[in-house]
Amino acid sequence: MKKLLLILLCIPMIGFGQCIPNPQYIGAGIYPDSTTGLADAYVGQAYYEVVTLIVPADSVLDIPTVGPTLTTYDSIVVTNVMGLPQNFAYDCNPSNCSFAGGASACMSVFSTSNPTSSMVGFYPLIVEVTVYLSGIPIIGSYNTNDIIDDYHIQIIAITPTWDCING
């Protein structure tokens, strides 16, 4: 019985429900940050990574002829994720990938089937977003398209050797 319990504890808990933002993050940003990056994927193993997004409520925007102006983030919407390996997908919470200003949200990146040896390699990701701002003097609201291209997924052929108890 102890062996069965140990095995169950070592299996990653991969759910098919929506991700949950990691509550340890409180400052505006994307977590893991681009320095830490996404976890590596391994041939023959399911992949699941949660990206927590904390959208700022407001920001200072430097507007020509007006100068620095406090603006409100209405939302940031993920419109596309390019570069995912074959059989990988993403999902958001909320499901429409529209993250309200001042809110915590998340996006999960996962494999729909285990990576194979033919998929070994480095996959740069490009996340396209639209940013919606309001409260801007003279023009009122503004939206802009942007990309986030600081992340990648690397699929590795050698499975890691690790001890479930000691990490």
Residue-wise pLDDT for 147-167, tens only, equals: 999 999 999 997 556 666 655
Confidence band of 11 (pLDDT split at 50, 70, 90): very low
- The model's pTM: 0.79
* Positions of E strands within the chain: 29-31, 41-42, 48-54, 58-63, 67-82, 88-93, 98-100, 104-111, 121-136, 140-156
Confidence band of 32 (pLDDT split at 50, 70, 90): very high
User: How many Å apart are CA 150 and CA 34, to the nearest integer?
Assistant: 6
Confidence band of 17 (pLDDT split at 50, 70, 90): low
Residue 52, strand partner residues: 31, 106
Q: What is the pLDDT of residue 4?
A: 31
Q: What is the pLDDT of residue 163?
A: 60
Q: What is the mean pLDDT of the segment spanning 66-93?
A: 94
Smallest CA-to-CA distance from 130 within 117, 112, 142, 146 is with: 146
The overall average pLDDT reported for the chain is: 86
Longest dimension (CA), the chain: 72
Confidence band of 142 (pLDDT split at 50, 70, 90): confident
Q: Which residue would you say has higher pLDDT here, 136 or 86?
A: 86
Q: How far is CA 78 from CA 3, 18, 26, 82, 147, in A?
A: 43, 16, 20, 11, 9
User: How many Å apart are CA 49 and CA 90, to the nearest integer?
Assistant: 9
